[in-house]
Amino acid sequence: MKKKITILLIFISLNISSQSFFNTYKKGTLHMRDGSDLRGLLKLSSGNKIKFKKTKKDKKQTFDYKEVSRVKFLFEEEFLYKINIKSKRHLLIKRVVKGKLNLYSLISYNPGLLMGNPGSPVIGASSQTIYYVGKENSDYIEVLPSIDKKKFIKILSKQTSDCQEFLNMIKDKENIEYFFEKKESESERDFIKKDSRIEQMINYYNSHCN
């Protein structure tokens, strides 16, 4: 029971952390499409918009993809405006891996419910990571399905078609499991963390397929 409560608390903590960019202003830089930069206090807002203040006392301004190309929080995450190639919608999305092929992610945490009776389990606790991939300097990104889906290999192969060595490594699930190790959980935090093999694959491609 104690371990289950610990896991629940970690989920709640991560949920709060994942929403922190939406709840509070943080120091950062807006990289504008005209080549200029705006430094000040930033907060991500609903509708893929950004709220900006030069100082705490200043009136807030609201920006979107029409003016901004990239957002970088001081010592923290970087978010870019990219276009979902399928829906044609602009998304403000976090860059996970930077290189010839970029990996982006959207993460949603659901802490679930803890039943009131002693010994009751955590109900509905879950996390979901949605990955996207896109070529360097491209405005477009494509959803990368879960690694256990057949379409995963199809889409990743299309994005990495210039590297036969890599294509051989991801030609089927058995090869992926052989070449890219699935991290085993060593703590409650690792229990929550998404399988890291996708990041391993993108990093390998960027390092070996120049």
Predicted pLDDT at 22? 60
What parts of the chain have a pLDDT lower than 70?
Answer: 1-23, 108-127, 183-195
Predicted pLDDT at 23? 65
The backbone torsions φ and ψ at residue 102, rounded to the nearest 5 degrees and listed phi first, read -95, 145
Segment 179-209, tens digit of pLDDT: 998 765 544 444 434 458 999 999 999 999 9
Predicted pLDDT at 196? 82
Nearby residues of 42 by Cβ (< 8 Å), 6 or more positions away: 25, 26, 27, 28, 29, 30, 50, 51, 52, 71, 73
Predicted pLDDT at 70? 95
Query: Scanning the structure block, which residue is given the tokens 């499991």?
Result: 177
